[in-house]
Amino acid sequence: MTEVLSKAIIDLNVVAKTKEDVFSRLTTLLDHDGRLNDPAVYMQNVADREALTTTGIGFGIAIPHGKTDAVKSVSVAIAKLEQPIDWEAMDGKPVDMVFQLAVPAASQGDAHLKLLAALSRQLIHADFRSKIKQATSEDEVIALIGNTINQTLEVPS
């Protein structure tokens, strides 16, 4: 099983001016790591989902997501933005940390809901948000959140 989170799909120095810039960067990481069948379709799916309602949950965090056949394996790509950007977040504050979910349309159950729940359980804690935003390496991010995310969707062998 491909791990949901890996160093290859984390970028802690993203320069972006818009949500679309972030979607593009994270889609590129996912594609280069072999997790997508069709990056353009996936990115459009994420943008279409974002157009329905913001994925800016507050606290400077957004969790955009796409569920489409353009995705090969359940993944979470992470971006820490060099400068916060307006995400039309629920609390009205700009976003500087993005967790972008990629879920195959045919994935069993509601994988994206399980991932959202796992992320949310950690992100509600101010100390956790502070630690993840201060992380300076992909290894630190994985140490903080990787096990929780990767174990969320483990299937017994």
Please write the tens of the pLDDT for every residue from 101-154. 999 988 756 766 777 788 888 888 899 999 999 999 999 999 888 766 766 555
65: annotated active-site residue = yes
Q: What is the mean pLDDT of residues 71-76?
A: 92
Domain for residue 157, yes or no? no
Active-site residue among 32, 65, 112, 125? Answer: 65
Task: Give residue 110's domain range.
Answer: 7-152
Query: CA distances (Å), 52 to each of 20, 47, 48, 55, 65, in order?
Result: 15, 9, 7, 9, 12
Domain for residue 2, yes or no? no
Query: CA distances (Å), 68 to each of 17, 31, 38, 76, 104, in order?
Result: 26, 14, 10, 14, 5
pLDDT at position 108 is 59
CATH number at residue 129: 3.40.930.10
Token pair for 15: 């320069």
Domain for residue 134, yes or no? yes
Residue 156 has pLDDT above 60, yes or no: no
Domain for residue 102, yes or no? yes
**Structural domain total, the chain:** 1
